């Protein structure tokens, strides 16, 4: 799609198919927590009144537990999916800014997405305080992001893409 008045060309692929880089791994990690909450709610929820999220409860009461929860999860999390997919294609920050921005991105996703979904998913079978469950979910996200998403010795090329630095290019510090 091309908008002539703005001189902008938009490829719809950028909205739906993530680029195969660290953003794809971050997307998989985030949606792992979202799907954990979704499936634990499907398994343990016997009546819509048991759901603590008022919006999800509304959908579950209107369309039934399974269909209502599915519609709610798709509607609520599609913007996160599209944002991360667009970021995988568009965001090209300078190396120093990228390192800092990705830390803040992971912290935000850890607390507000992974932590909340972990809290919601575990609330069905673990009666610990909500703050503890959310903190544990955020810590699990950060741990998994460090292991699976982040390159251990990142090297940013001129386009802003992260590549693992070859062992022979590491500087020797005396």
pLDDT at 28 over 80: yes
Task: Quickly state the pLDDT bin for 6 (edges 50, 70, 90).
Answer: low
**What are the contacts of 154-158 at 24+ separation with CB within 8 A?**
154/99, 156/94, 156/95, 156/98, 156/99
* pTM for the predicted model, two decimal places: 0.78
Tally of CA atoms within 13 A in the half-sphere of 131 that contains its CB: 0
Decide if pLDDT at 120 tops 90: yes
Q: What is the pLDDT of residue 171?
A: 44
Task: State the Cα–Cα distance between residues 151 and 167, nearest whole angstrom.
Answer: 13
User: In this structure, are strands 154-156 and 162-164 parallel, antiparallel, or unpaired?
Assistant: antiparallel
Per-residue pLDDT band at 63 (split at 50, 70, 90): very high
Say which residue, 121 or 85, is predicted with more confidence. Answer: 121
Kindly report, residue by residue over 66-102, the tens digit of the pLDDT: 999 999 999 999 998 888 887 777 677 777 787 788 8
């Amino acid at each position: 799609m091309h908008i002539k008045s703005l001189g902008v060309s938009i490829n719809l692929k950028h909205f739906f198919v993530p680029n195969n880089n660290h953003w794809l791994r971050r997307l998989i990690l985030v949606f792992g927590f979202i799907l954990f909450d979704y499936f634990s709610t499907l398994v343990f929820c016997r009546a819509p009144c048991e759901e603590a999220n008022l919006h999800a409860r509304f959908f579950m009461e209107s369309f039934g537990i399974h269909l209502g929860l599915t519609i709610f999860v798709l509607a609520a999390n599609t913007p996160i999916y599209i944002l991360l997919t667009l970021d995988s294609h568009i965001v090209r920050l300078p190396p120093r800014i990228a390192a800092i921005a990705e830390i803040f991105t992971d912290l935000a996703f850890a607390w507000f997405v992974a932590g909340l979904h972990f809290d919601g998913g575990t609330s069905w079978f673990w009666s610990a305080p909500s703050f503890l469950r959310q903190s544990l979910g955020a810590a699990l996200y950060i741990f998994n992001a460090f292991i699976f998403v982040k390159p251990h010795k990142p090297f940013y090329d001129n386009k802003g893409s992260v590549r693992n630095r070859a062992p022979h290019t590491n500087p020797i510090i005396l």
